[in-house]
Amino acid sequence: MTTAAPGEASPATADAAGRAPARPAARRGRPGRRRASLRMGLEILFFVGPALILFGVFVVWPIARAVQFSLYRWKGFGPLVDFVGLQNYVSVLTNEVFTDAFRHNMTIVVLSILVQLPVGLGIALLLNRKMRFQGMLRTIIFVPYVLSEVIAGVVWLQLLQPEYGVIDTVLGAVGISGPEEGWLGTPEVALYTVFVVLTWKYLGLAVLLFLAGLQGVPDELVEAAQIDGASWWQVQRRVTVPLLGPTIRTWGFLSMIGAIQLFDMVWILTGGGPANSTTTMATFLITEGTKRYNYGIATAASVILFAVALVLAVLYQIFVLRRDVAQADAGSRRVR
């Protein structure tokens, strides 16, 4: 790419390269400038166009259709004629199963931060030290994340079988008996069981991100702290973890969005049961749509899910990522 579009927060070199060919045109006066801006517009259109079309077809259009469907009572086939206004939204929001599903999603969001963050951070700090089998340990931690969600789910489903499953057998051998109806069959523990499996699956991502973040912590700072007599623990607490802040906040965002969208693992392990104790907003809308053919209600639920995800993302952006974003903006301004 010889001409980068100006105005982009790009490194100084690319910026300069972009300006160079524009200068002779400016000398030719107004018509030239107009031509130049036209060319620039075409350039932007050329590069952004394809992405914009894809975005429109696969993102904007489906959302618009979903909003449209959500205003009708529709069984998934036949013409769209039975307009019901916001009735589908009312029925979703007053449905106990959906409000429970929302609570389950939020439980997973909170638990992820409370459990996966400290554990992931601890493992990352340990794995960052020079030790034997470092590469192998990192791989082991990361493997579950690479594994297909469906395969991992089916394996855990078998492990967690009541009576005949490996986990109950092992626990039984040491004299511990699991819940009578099994880990996934008892409404009170099923959600937490699912969370344990999710943690096993997604801890690897947290560790990987934190390890990458740790590479960005300058050795000089650590050495300076050590010279000042800081212990390993103090170095981590006062130097490393604070510098890891942006990475942690980004991970928190990914984790939150993942938890709000949660579907596959729940679908395989419990299908939302027993007694709706593990339903999520996504399993709710799939059940309403593909099992009950209440596509109007299902799309209303999906629009609500979209709104929830959007609002949380924006709030997170404003309150948590604000500092990181401000720094990035300041950084790009300095470069220019």
Residue 257 touching another protein (CB under 8 A): yes
Q: Does the footprint of another protein cover residue 192 (CB under 8 A)?
A: no
For position 274 contacting another protein by CB under 8 A, the verdict is yes
Q: Which of 155, 156, 139 is nearest to 197 (CA)?
A: 156
CB of 222 to another protein, least distance (A): 27
306 is a contact residue toward another protein (CB under 8 A): yes
187-215 helix and 96-111 helix, angle to the nearest 10 degrees: 40
State yes or no: residue 299 binds another protein (CB under 8 A): yes
182, with CB counted inside 10 A (0-12, 13-18, 19+), is buried
| Tally of CB atoms within 10 A around 179 | 16
Judged by CB under 8 A, the residue of 58, 83, 200, 232 near another protein is: 58
Q: Which of 101, 276, 283, 284 binds another protein (CB under 8 A)?
A: 276
Count of residues near another protein by CB under 8 A: 69
CA-to-CA distance for 45 and 41, rounded, in angstroms?
Answer: 6
Rank residues 38 and 325 by Cβ distance to another protein and give the closer one. 325
Instruction: Measure the CA–CA gap between 322 and 328, rounded to whole angstroms.
Output: 10
Q: 201: exposed, middle or buried (C-beta count within 10 Å: 0-12, 13-18, 19+)?
A: middle
- Contact string 150-189 vs another protein (x = CB under 8 A): --------x--xxxxx--------------xxx-xxxx--
From the list 29, 31, 78, 175, which residue makes contact with another protein (rule: CB under 8 A)?
78
Q: Would you tell me how many other CB atoms lie within 10 Å of the CB of residue 58? A: 10
Q: Which amino acid is at 130?
A: K
Contact set with another protein (CB under 8 A)? 58-60, 62-63, 65-66, 69, 74-80, 91, 97, 158, 161-165, 180-182, 184-187, 190, 253, 257, 260-261, 270-271, 273-276, 282, 285-287, 289-295, 298-299, 302-303, 305-307, 309-310, 313-314, 317, 321, 324-325, 328-329
